[in-house]
Structures are given as structure tokens and as C-alpha cells.
């Protein structure tokens, strides 16, 4: 994927000066060779570099250390940008993405602009779980509340984040969230708590090209941070299980009971609940170009996400929380990131 996504970054139609720093966080495959080839083929401006990261220090998650290394490498090359743009390696951006991000930041006076890219959604498991993933994300972080300066709710999508360089310095740099597993929302929280302004939206112009072949990779993606989202609290876990059971399992069970036992007193309320659920989910189903009947699969997706959350807590209990691609990161704190005024990051 890396040659495809790197080429999209190098092909950005941006009217001002910009440079691209690729960070190889000590990959053991052919990532570096693919990046060198992409730079040689597509870097028409001659400003792209490949930086090999230093070993990750204790207390840092891998992605945040890679971002920090990239910023340091860019600064060492003389960069002093107005904005930093962080992009995941599996995201293929539309050629005008950077221009639209900067235009949004300028015209709306935003310190952090983030786009949740369209996720890969072609396999059966992806069709079942990906639209529901985005749906649940929007429930956890309502975009209107994130974008409301008076609301304390803060969120971002890590695949595509533009942040004002001065604001990043104000919060203490990436170092202030160095141990966070849910790094994108931690960064947004730090920005908002420091008085910064956020903008979060969906986009179909930038695509995640990473496929999830089967249930296992999707399960691992969610189980990695679900318990982190709950603050590592057993009480929050029990509340989540109860809430998800009430919302997604009980209506389905009521409908089945009403059909089998011919009890309208169960079947009709259950059907009404499922209908309302499908009605709210249908716009997301349509966004991913799926048949309308897929909206009825939300209860099954909800049940699976509940099981993933339970598994996330189990992994944490046995010391395997935060495991991703063979690496395990232990959080330094369960508390949300707090802003500070250090400038030595």
C-alpha cells in the first residue's frame, strides 16, 4: 500500500510551499525501498525525504514517536511551517486534500482540522462492521459537539489531522500525549482544553486502502483500545455491557420471542425499536454504498462490538492491552491528556 499512499501525498495540488517527511519506524520489510522508489518517481518539488526513526523510548506509543521523529527531522531540515499535517500510511488522499484542510482551518478559524476518511469496505466482515464502526464513533464523539467551541467534547480521526504549528507548541508538542493509545482524540482534547478550536468531519475523497481480510484484524483493531476508551474502569465496562445489551440484544430477542411465541406485546415493541435503530443507521449504510437492508444488521454488529470490548478488558487484565502488529504498548496513564505550556518538546 505504501507506494500508492505515498504517491498521493507527493501529488498534492497545493498552491503554497509544502514538504513531505516519511517516517520509517524501523520497519523490517520493504517499506523503505518502496518509499525511495515513490519519492524518485513522484517528488516533482524535490522536497520529500525519508527519515529512519530512532528506537522508541519507554513510555511512547509507536505512532506518536514516529510523528515526533518526523517533526524533528523536518525542523532539522529547516522547516518552520504554519501547519503540520499528519497522515496514516494506509490513507490515499485526494489531490486537493491539503488545500481543503488549510482552507477549512483558515476560513473557519480552526486550530485542528481532522477528516475521518472512508474506510475499506468490500469484504463481508467489513460490510457488517465498518459502517457500524463509524456510526458508533459519531455517537461517542458527536461532530456538532466537537466543532462547538462551547462544548467540552473533543475528538479527531488520526488518519488525517492538520494542526496549527503554534498551537501544537502551546500544548507542549506531541510529548504531552506520548503514552496515549487513542492518540487522535487525546490530541484534540489537549488542543481544546488549551483554548484551541476543532473541526471534525467525514470525507469520501480520502480512502483507507488497508483491507481487513476476515474478522480477526477488525476484532484486534477494536480490542486494542476499547477498554482504554472506558478509562480502564470495570464499572464503565459493566455499564457498557448493560447499555449495549439493552439497545441491541433485547429488541432482537423481543422480536424473535414475539414471532416464536406469537406474543405481540413483545414482538411489536421490539420491531419498533429495531425500526428506529435501522432508521438512524441507514444514512451510514448508504454512505458506504450498501443496500438499505444492511441497516437491519446493526444489532449483530452491536453485539460483536460488545464482545470486542469485553475481550479488550480481558487483554488488559493479562497485560496484552494495546497490542498491534506484534507490538504491545503499556499506557502511562488512564487519564485524558491535559495541556501544558512546556516548549521543550
- The 10s digit of each residue's pLDDT in 160-171 is 999 999 999 999
Instruction: Decide if 4 contacts 92 (C-beta within 8 A).
Output: yes
Whether pLDDT at 344 is above 70: no
Do residue 99 and residue 201 come from a single domain?
A: yes
120: left (phi over 0), alpha (psi -120 to 50) or beta: beta
Task: Please report the pLDDT score of residue 70 as a whole number.
Answer: 96
Tell me if residue 48 falls in helix, strand or coil. coil
Non-local (6+) Cβ contacts of 130 within 8 A are: 119, 120, 121, 212, 218, 288
Do residue 279 and residue 201 come from a single domain?
A: no
Whether pLDDT at 33 is above 80: yes
Residue 155 forms part of a structural domain = yes
CATH of residue 110: 3.90.550.10
Do residue 194 and residue 241 come from a single domain?
A: no
Q: Could you tell me the pLDDT band of residue 325, with boundaries at 50, 70 and 90?
A: low
Task: Please report the pLDDT score of residue 319 as a whole number.
Answer: 80
Do residue 144 and residue 288 come from a single domain?
A: no
Model confidence pLDDT, tens digit, residues 171-223: 999 999 999 999 999 999 999 999 999 999 999 999 999 999 999 999 999 99
The structural domain count of the chain equals: 2
Do residue 157 and residue 248 come from a single domain?
A: no
Do residue 65 and residue 130 come from a single domain?
A: yes
| Among candidate residues 211, 247, 214, the one with its CA nearest the CA of residue 139 | 247
Do residue 254 and residue 293 come from a single domain?
A: yes
| Among candidate residues 319, 339, 337, the one with its CA nearest the CA of residue 329 | 319
Do residue 203 and residue 257 come from a single domain?
A: no
Do residue 177 and residue 284 come from a single domain?
A: no
Mean pLDDT over 274-286 rounds to 96
Task: Please report the pLDDT score of residue 324 as a whole number.
Answer: 57
Task: Please report the pLDDT score of residue 146 as a whole number.
Answer: 98
Do residue 157 and residue 256 come from a single domain?
A: no
Q: Hey, which of 61-65, 123-127, 338-342 has the most confident mean pLDDT?
A: 123-127
Residues above pLDDT 70, as percent of the chain: 93
Chain centroid, CA 159 distance in Å? 6
Task: Please report the pLDDT score of residue 263 as a whole number.
Answer: 85
- What grid cell was written down for 221? 483493531
> Is the pTM for the entire model greater than 0.85?
yes
| Among candidate residues 250, 110, 309, the one with its CA nearest the CA of residue 191 | 110
Instruction: Decide if 289 contacts 139 (C-beta within 8 A).
Output: no
Chain centroid, CA 213 distance in Å? 19
Do residue 245 and residue 203 come from a single domain?
A: no
Which structural domain range is residue 47 located in? 2-213
Residue 335 forms part of a structural domain = no
Residue 49 forms part of a structural domain = yes
Whether pLDDT at 112 is above 90: yes
Task: Please report the pLDDT score of residue 342 as a whole number.
Answer: 30
Residue 228 forms part of a structural domain = no
More confident residue, 87 or 324: 87
Mean pLDDT over 49-68 rounds to 93
Q: Could you tell me the pLDDT band of residue 93, with boundaries at 50, 70 and 90?
A: very high
Residue 287 half-sphere exposure toward CB, CA atoms < 13 A: 20
Residue 85 forms part of a structural domain = yes
Residue 340 forms part of a structural domain = no
Average pLDDT, the chain: 91
How far is residue 185's CA from residue 1's CA, in Å, rounded to a whole number? 25
CA distances from 189 to 112, 192, 253, 322 (A): 11, 5, 38, 20
Model confidence pLDDT, tens digit, residues 1-27: 899 999 999 999 999 999 999 999 888
Do residue 209 and residue 238 come from a single domain?
A: no
Residue 118 forms part of a structural domain = yes
- What grid cell was written down for 135? 456510526
Task: Please report the pLDDT score of residue 335 as a whole number.
Answer: 39
Model confidence pLDDT, tens digit, residues 216-275: 999 999 999 999 999 999 999 999 999 999 999 999 999 998 999 888 988 999 999 999
Residue 341 forms part of a structural domain = no
Amino acid at each position: 500500500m505504501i507506494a500508492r499512499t505515498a504517491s498521493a501525498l507527493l501529488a498534492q495540488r497545493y498552491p503554497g510551499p509544502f514538504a513531505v517527511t516519511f517516517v520509517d519506524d524501523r520497519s523490517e520489510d520493504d517499506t523503505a525501498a518502496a518509499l525511495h522508489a515513490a519519492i524518485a518517481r513522484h517528488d516533482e518539488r524535490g522536497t520529500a525525504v525519508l527519515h529512519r526513526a530512532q528506537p522508541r523510548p519507554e513510555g511512547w506509543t509507536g505512532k506518536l514517536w514516529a510523528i515526533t521523529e518526523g517533526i524533528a527531522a523536518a525542523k532539522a531540515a529547516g522547516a518552520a511551517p504554519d501547519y503540520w499535517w499528519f497522515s496514516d500510511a494506509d490513507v490515499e488522499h485526494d489531490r486537493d486534500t491539503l488545500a481543503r484542510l488549510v482552507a477549512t482551518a483558515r476560513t473557519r478559524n480552526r486550530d485542528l482540522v481532522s477528516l475521518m476518511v472512508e474506510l475499506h469496505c468490500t469484504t463481508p466482515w467489513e460490510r457488517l462492521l465498518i459502517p457500524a464502526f463509524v456510526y458508533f464513533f459519531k455517537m461517542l464523539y458527536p461532530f456538532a459537539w466537537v466543532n462547538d467551541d462551547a462544548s467540552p467534547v473533543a475528538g479527531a480521526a488520526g488518519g488525517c489531522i492538520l494542526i496549527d504549528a503554534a498551537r501544537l507548541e502551546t500544548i507542549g508538542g506531541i510529548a504531552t500525549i506520548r503514552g496515549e493509545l487513542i492518540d487522535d482524540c487525546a490530541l484534540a482534547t489537549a488542543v481544546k482544553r488549551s483554548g484551541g478550536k476543532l473541526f471534525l468531519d467525514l470525507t469520501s475523497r480520502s480512502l483507507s486502502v488497508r483491507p481487513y481480510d476476515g474478522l480477526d484484524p477488525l476484532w484486534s483493531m477494536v480490542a486494542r483500545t476499547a477498554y482504554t476508551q472506558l478509562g480502564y474502569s470495570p464499572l464503565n465496562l459493566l455499564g457498557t455491557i448493560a447499555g449495549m445489551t439493552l439497545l441491541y440484544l433485547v429488541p432482537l430477542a423481543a422480536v424473535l420471542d414475539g414471532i416464536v411465541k406469537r406474543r405481540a406485546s413483545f414482538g411489536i415493541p421490539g420491531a419498533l425499536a429495531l425500526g428506529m435503530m435501522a432508521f438512524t443507521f441507514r444514512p451510514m449504510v448508504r454512505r458506504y454504498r450498501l443496500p438499505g437492508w444492511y441497516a437491519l444488521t446493526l444489532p449483530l454488529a452491536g453485539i460483536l462490538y460488545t464482545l470486542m470490548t469485553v475481550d479488550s478488558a480481558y487483554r488488559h487484565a493479562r497485560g496484552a492491552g494495546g497490542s498491534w502488529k506484534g507490538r504491545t504498548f503499556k499506557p502511562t496513564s488512564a487519564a485524558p491528556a491535559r495541556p501544558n505550556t512546556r516548549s521543550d518538546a
